[in-house]
Amino acid sequence: MIRRVSEPSERRTSTWKTATAILTAIVVSACAPTSPSGLVTVTSRTANPVQLTASFSYGAYTVDPAKVSIILSTVPLETLASGDFEEAQVAHVQMLWKPRAGRTPVSADATNLSIRYVVLVDGEVGLYGGGGFGWPKGTPGKTGFGLNIAGSNLALLDSTDGFRDLLTPARLLGSIGAPLDETVAIRMRDTVSQIVTDRLGRSQWVDLGLGEGRILSSAPLSR
């Protein structure tokens, strides 16, 4: 749901609620996740911030020697494939390298994540992308895996003519996690890729290296 935070008091209240919700999600999901889950907030970096929140319950992750990829959706894979939905959000996050607590310096410019964020609403699509920083939860390939996303920078990469972008530039914060299931991850990636391609009328989705994937777009993967 998109909401605008305009008045200072409302902004402080909203920020407190958002921070509390994200902190709760991080505490609850401190261990390796065993099922798809996520709570994220995308907030515009503007004078009057707009927030887009999402709770994820569907998805999976996969791992290869170079990266770990998590893909999550707010609606089931079968619903995405059927097209029988009015609104959906999909997050596709790659961890490119693993930070080490106490040894990895963290700054506003630190980037170990590549992020794709898709907003599907009323037949329109907005494709956001950027980079960020996240702390891992779990051991890739051995347990469920998740990320506490501590910072990011997102911008609209492409959209249908009727999509109204209220977020760019924006930051995404929150916690995500999923079980290891390459089949589900690839099916969800391919399904969302097809939806984005169909609605835009052109290929505009980056395959993040799952299985025997292919590049569908030349858009950069990170800052």
pLDDT digits (tens, 9 = 90+) for 162-193: 999 999 999 999 999 999 999 999 999 999 99
In a domain, 208, yes or no: no
Half-sphere exposure of 32 (CA within 13 A, CB side): 12
In a domain, 10, yes or no: yes
The overall pTM is greater than 0.85: no
Q: How many angstroms separate the CA atoms of 196 and 168, rounded?
A: 19
**In terms of Cα–Cα distance, which of 165, 213, 171 is closest to 69?**
213
- Given the structure tokens 């777009």, which residue do they identify? 217
In a domain, 218, yes or no: no
Q: Write the single-letter amino acid at 19.
A: A
Q: How many angstroms separate the CA atoms of 70 and 84, rounded?
A: 24
Domain of 49? 2-200
State the total domains in the chain.
1
Q: How many angstroms separate the CA atoms of 63 and 5, rounded?
A: 38
In a domain, 54, yes or no: yes
**Percent of the chain topping pLDDT 70:** 74
